[in-house]
């Protein structure tokens, strides 16, 4: 029996050749003429970055250093493995979302690959996080309105959901900041590796 690793491509996934147009979510996107690093290279970089962030975070004064390390490194791993800059073109990455991979189809259609929206050092990862948050909020709103229509406390539940996250952010602002730092750094390192490889290829 063959067991596929977490970051391996699905059996029917193929990588388009460099310089060819790909079809993503119904939109034709032009891939870079210079091939970018493979997903496994970015995965290795993400893992190495998360490991390096542990001693770096430990050096920052904190009442709970282990928790700080977990938040920064955890955000880094989640961003690099599940919110990659290449979600707009790579089936190898979208398949990690399993049956929910379809939620990224609108993102694939609207965001041009290697634009400042997908590969911006800060904007890129934050945009993908906000995109998912907007989808979750839309789904919850629809569910709560449906419950309200049949006499359920739908909107009340939605208010409690917002209050929960609001209170959590007010109570633990540092933990949210630590997670956000790790999350953004993963996207930034991905973009930097792409730019460095492109620069080297142009120089050669």
Residue whose tokens read 């189809």: 105
Average pLDDT, 10 consecutive residues per value, the chain (204 residues): 42 44 41 59 94 97 95 97 84 83 90 87 95 96 93 90 96 97 96 87 82
Contact 69, 174 (CB under 8 A): no
pLDDT of residue 202: 84
pLDDT of residue 201: 82
Kind and range of the H or E element at 194?
Answer: helix 173-203
Q: Looking at the whole model, is its pTM more than 0.95?
A: no
pLDDT of residue 90: 59
């Amino acid at each position: 029996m063959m067991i596929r690793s977490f970051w391996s491509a699905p059996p029917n996934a193929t990588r388009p050749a460099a310089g060819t147009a790909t079809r993503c979510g119904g939109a034709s996107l032009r891939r870079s003429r210079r091939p970018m690093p493979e997903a496994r290279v970015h995965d290795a970089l993400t893992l190495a970055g998360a490991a390096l962030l542990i001693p770096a975070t430990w050096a920052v004064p904190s009442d709970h250093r282990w928790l700080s390390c977990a938040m920064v490194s955890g955000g880094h791993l989640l961003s690099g493995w599940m919110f990659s800059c290449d979600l707009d073109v790579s089936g190898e990455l979208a398949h990690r979302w399993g049956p929910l991979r379809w939620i990224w189809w609108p993102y694939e259609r609207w965001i041009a690959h290697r634009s400042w929206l997908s590969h911006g050092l800060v904007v890129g990862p934050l945009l993908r996080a906000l995109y998912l948050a907007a989808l979750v909020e839309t789904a919850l709103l629809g569910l709560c309105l449906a419950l309200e229509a049949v006499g359920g406390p739908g909107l009340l539940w939605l208010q409690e959901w917002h209050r929960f996250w609001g209170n959590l952010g007010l109570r633990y602002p540092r933990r949210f900041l630590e997670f956000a730092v790790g999350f953004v750094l993963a996207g930034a390192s991905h973009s930097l590796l792409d730019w460095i490889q492109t620069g080297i290829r142009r120089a050669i």
